């Protein structure tokens, strides 16, 4: 994750920035996807996730400012490509969801930072809250994506 010290001296500033940027971008593309999916159940989950991700980004940007550091982000080609894909109604929800791939815990590194005692108390509390919400979000998305796959499979069998 972000092991090197940020330009502002705190070793975890880069981690906070990475989270803020990731949450901001994800909030945008989840919202765009929710706006065009014909699946009402998926749209509901995507909107909840978009709201959470956007909120997380705002909270992390604010914490970075509270720590006296700068907040910055410039979209890149990968962000534009992802947005174009999820906002394209010609691409099915099944294609956007993709196959069911079991990945390692995406929050393991963050959990290590929390338990490592390197964070100030307020940032540590923020991270604990964030990890709890992210775990719930991952579970909600997994269920929503499984439902999309199941609907597609049943449509093929008909």
CATH number of 13-157: 1.20.1260.10
pLDDT digits (tens, 9 = 90+) for 23-39: 999 999 999 999 999 99
3-state secondary structure of 103: coil
Q: Quick check: 155 pLDDT over 60?
A: yes
Q: By C-alpha distance, which of 83, 90, 103 is closest to 145?
A: 103
Backbone φ and ψ for 61, nearest 5 degrees, come out as -60, -45
Q: In which band, very low, low, confident or very high, does the pLDDT at 2 lie, cut at 50, 70 and 90?
A: very low
Residue in the structure block whose two tokens are 């394209």: 88
Q: Name the DSSP class of 5.
A: P
Closest CA to 57 of 25, 20, 3: 20
The reported pTM is 0.87
Could you identify the residue written with the tokens 């509901």? Answer: 44
Whether pLDDT at 66 is above 80: yes
- Cα–Cα dist 147/76, whole Å: 31
């Amino acid at each position: 994750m972000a092991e090197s010290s940020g330009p502002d001296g705190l070793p975890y500033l880069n981690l906070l920035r990475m989270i803020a940027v990731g949450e901001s971008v994800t909030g945008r593309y989840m919202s765009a996807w929710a706006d065009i999916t014909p699946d009402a159940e998926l749209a509901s989950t995507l909107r909840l996730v978009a709201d959470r991700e956007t909120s997380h980004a705002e909270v992390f940007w604010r914490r970075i400012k509270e720590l006296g550091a700068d907040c910055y982000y410039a979209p890149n080609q990968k962000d534009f490509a992802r947005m174009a894909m999820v906002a394209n109604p010609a691409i099915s929800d099944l294609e956007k969801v993709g196959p069911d791939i079991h990945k390692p815990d995406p929050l393991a590194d963050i959990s290590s930072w929390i338990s490592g005692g390197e964070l100030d108390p307020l940032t540590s509390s923020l991270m604990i809250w964030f990890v709890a919400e992210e775990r719930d979000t991952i579970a909600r998305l997994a269920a929503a994506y499984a439902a999309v796959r199941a609907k597609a499979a049943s449509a093929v069998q008909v």
